[in-house]
Amino acid sequence: MFKRILIANRGEIAVRIVRACQEADIEAVAIYSDADRHALHVKKAGEAYNIGPDPVAGYLNAHRIVNLAVATGCDALHPGYGFLSENPELAHICARRGIKFIGPDARVIRSMGNKIEARICMQKAGVPVVPGSDANLASLAEALRLADTIGYPVMLKATSGGGGRGIRRCNDRAELERNYDRVLSEATKAFGSAEIFVEKCIDRPRHIEVQILADEHGNVVHLFERDCSIQRRHQKLIEIAPSPQLNDEQRARIGDYAVRAARAVGYQNAGTVEFLMDSDDNFHFMEMNTRLQVEHTVTESITGIDIVGEQIRIAEGLPLAFTQADIQRRGYAMEFRINAEDPKNDFLPSFGRITRYFAPGGPGVRTDAAIYTGYTIPPYYDSMCAKITVWALHWDELLRRATRALHDTGVYGVKTTIPYYLEVLQVESFRSRHFDTGFVEDHPQLVNYKTSRPARELAAVIAAAVAAHAGH
Ligand code: ADP
Ligand code: ADP
Ligand code: MG
């Protein structure tokens, strides 16, 4: 059994992993950059080591991090999400240095990190994939030829992409010609790889993903699905489990696909299989994330399973303590990513000092945060600073409770996405469970919620004053 785990991450996910360690009587060893000297994960962990002055470089230096794990007597390393979590080199170096990597092995990370390889693998396993190319594009001419056979609109995507970057929709030939070099350069800049491919653009899709757990003894289970259709620029904002848009037959089918996908690649530990559901309710495999996800909390809420705890137990070599039939779900859960952004100003990052912070409470409300009163959010990292996860037995009750929980939250000093979510909760299509990945773009008035209202009010005040003046 593990005695010490090095947490190769920061922010709320590092705090989440510290909590799992504490419950398992494992010592948590944190790392931090100079900018993160006052970060919450540093305060929560038993021990913390500075990994240098650069805000980001230290968190991306696999050799240095594993050296530190060895030097501090750790037996395992948890990568969290983002940073090196899907970097096969880190898993490989850990294996070589005798540090157990809490995740799948390097070979699986590498093959699923390549969206083309993943597509080919899933097709072989009988999992339906989004129609598209089965090799990287060699030229624009090839892209145009393929798009003609697939049919417009198409998506140009970075083969090693992630975090919603390196994805562009092309409605016709002209757009494909225009976007080709852009995606190529985005892919090169963001992922250090000029590999791109083309796939069919699914019209008004719903993003449905399945959480899976696989132990080192061949047992694979799924923990039902999450609906992550509420996105902005291909990045998730709100996630819901189970999807309120699926019936039980569809739920069983997508769960089976995910388990089949995990088995096909010899998957171990926690992972997520992402699908797009088209308007005819067909599922299409999109990609597999070989790590813990931001939104794992909603799945924990409906199943009662501690996913990070399970990751640790799986890495310790223990068999899963439950079978598929043992896994029950109850109610609905919804996660809100609290980003330090100004929703009325095109979601511009809003970094700075948190002058006051109150976490929400009450029944069915969970907070995973990296902030506290007096903390200054540094500008170098992701703007997500907290997550609020709300659970309720019934959908309507969840909507009411979520509204209450968001009102119950106090984050002062920076702008956040909370007012935006309060607006989303009022939208009829959301409340009646009919929404797709176009939701945010389809409701531009929500983004301008504040500028439009006071502006209208102000106009009315001025009009009244003018009328009164004219009356004199
Ligand atoms: P999830 O599906 O867990 O919500 P996201 O796509 O939101 O995952 O990614 C979680 C975090 O990891 C975000 O901060 C995102 O920017 C970052 N991230 C994801 N993939 C990559 C990648 N390939 N390279 C760099 N950062 C990434
Ligand atoms: P990442 O690795 O950045 O998470 P994904 O391949 O998971 O990229 O796609 C992210 C999001 O982009 C999806 O949730 C979806 O909203 C949109 N998307 C990706 N591929 C397609 C497609 N073929 N058709 C329609 N939307 C897509
Ligand atoms: Mg994805």
Ligand 2 atom with the smallest distance to the CA of 163 is 3
Q: Strand ranges (DSSP E) for 147-253?
A: 154-158, 167-170, 196-200, 206-214, 220-232, 235-241
Give the tens place of pLDDT for each residue, 118-173: 999 999 999 999 999 999 999 999 999 999 999 999 999 999 999 899 999 999 99
Distance 208 CA to ligand 3 centre (A): 10
- SS3 state at 253: helix
Fold (CATH) for 4-102:
Rossmann fold (3.40.50)
Bond before 153 cis per omega within 30 degrees: yes
Nearest CA to ligand 2 atom 1: 162
Ligand 1 atom with the smallest distance to the CA of 235 is 7
Is the distance from CB of 244 to CB of 329 less than 8 angstroms?
no
Ligand 1 atom with the smallest distance to the CA of 294 is 3
Distance 26 CA to ligand 3 centre (A): 31
pLDDT at 445: 87
Give the pTM.
0.93
Tokens encoding 432:
């009646």
Tokens 């999992």 found at: 127
pLDDT at 448: 63
Q: Report the catalytic residues.
A: 291
Q: Is the CB of 163 under 6 A from ligand 1?
A: yes
Residue 437 DSSP code: T
Across-strand partners of 230?
A: 238
- CA pair distance 286, 277, nearest whole angstrom: 10
- For 33-36, the CB contacts below 8 A with 24+ separation are 33/58, 33/59, 33/380, 35/378, 35/380, 36/10, 36/378
- SS3 state at 156: strand
Distance 187 CA to ligand 2 centre (A): 15
- SS3 state at 445: helix
pLDDT at 453: 47
At 352, the amino acid letter reads G
At 271, the amino acid letter reads G
- CA pair distance 96, 89, nearest whole angstrom: 10
Nearest CA to ligand 1 atom 10: 82
- DSSP-assigned letters across all residues of 113-124: HSHHHHHHHHHH
Nearest CA to ligand 2 atom 12: 234
Q: Is the CB of 289 under 6 A from ligand 1?
A: yes
Ligand 2 binding site (Cβ under 6 Å of any ligand atom):
130, 155, 161-164, 167, 199-202, 205, 207, 231, 234, 274, 276, 286-287, 437
Q: Which of 109, 90, 112 has its CA nearest to residue 101?
A: 90
Residues of the chain with pLDDT under 70: 448-462, 471-472
Distance 167 CA to ligand 1 centre (A): 14
Q: Is the CB of 9 under 6 A from ligand 1?
A: no
Q: Structural domain boundaries of the chain?
A: 4-102, 131-200, 206-448
| Helix extents (H) in 99-209 | 106-113, 115-124, 140-150, 173-191
Task: Tally Cβ neighbours within 10 Å of residue 123.
Answer: 14
pLDDT at 447: 75
Tokens encoding 293:
């996800």
Distance 233 CA to ligand 2 centre (A): 10
Instruction: Please name the residues in contact with 168: beta carbons below 8 A apart, sequence gap of 6 or more.
Output: 155, 156, 157, 179, 182, 183
Fold (CATH) for 206-448:
D-amino Acid Aminotransferase; Chain A, domain 1 (3.30.470)
- The alpha carbons of the chain give a radius of gyration, in whole angstroms, of 23
Distance 35 CA to ligand 2 centre (A): 32
Q: Which CATH number fits domain 131-200: 3.40.718.10, 3.50.50.60, 3.30.1490.20, 3.30.70.100?
A: 3.30.1490.20
Instruction: Using CB atoms within 10 Å of the CB of residue 443, give its burial: 0 to 12 exposed, 13 to 18 middle, 19+ buried.
Output: middle
Task: Return the best residue to mutate from 9, 13, 60, 81 for the ligand 1 pocket (most ligand atoms within 8 A of CB).
Answer: 81
Among the bound ligands, name the one nearest to the CA of residue 295: 1
Is the distance from CB of 78 to CB of 91 less than 8 angstroms?
no
Ligand 2 atom with the smallest distance to the CA of 161 is 2
Q: Is the CB of 211 under 6 A from ligand 1?
A: no
Distance 82 CA to ligand 1 centre (A): 5
- CA pair distance 161, 176, nearest whole angstrom: 18
Among the bound ligands, name the one nearest to the CA of residue 439: 2
Nearest CA to ligand 1 atom 15: 163
Ligand 1 atom with the smallest distance to the CA of 164 is 6
Cα-based torsion angle of the residue sequence 4, 99, 384, 396 in order, rounded to the nearest 10 degrees: -80
Neighbours of ion ligand 3 (CB under 5 A): 274
Ligand 2 atom with the smallest distance to the CA of 201 is 24
